[in-house]
Amino acid sequence: MSEWKVFYRDNLDHDRISPNVSSKEAALAQARNLHRDRRAKIYKIEGPAGDIVPKDDVMRWVSAHRWR
């Protein structure tokens, strides 16, 4: 099972790592929810074997899928 994590800064200015999720799509949805609902600043998404989705790619996806 792959593990994906979202690295972000919360509204209290603390660096955080989200709970693991099983897919890249789930991590992107989690990043969208953190950004939209908690006003978090997203840094990156990290997957298995060091796969990284950079902030710019994450935020482009968040903008395109804002209301789902």
pTM over 0.95: no
User: What local confidence, expressed as pLDDT, does residue 28 receive?
Assistant: 96
Tokens standing for residue 60: 């482009």
User: What local confidence, expressed as pLDDT, does residue 49 receive?
Assistant: 87
C-alpha span between 43 and 33 (Å, rounded): 14
If we measure between CA atoms, which residue out of 58, 67, 49, 54 comes closest to residue 28?
Answer: 58
Reduced to 3 states (helix: H, G, I; strand: E, B; else coil), residue 3 is: coil
pLDDT in tens, 6-52: 999 998 999 999 999 999 999 999 999 999 888 999 999 999 988 99
Q: Contact 32/66 with Cβ under 8 angstroms?
A: yes
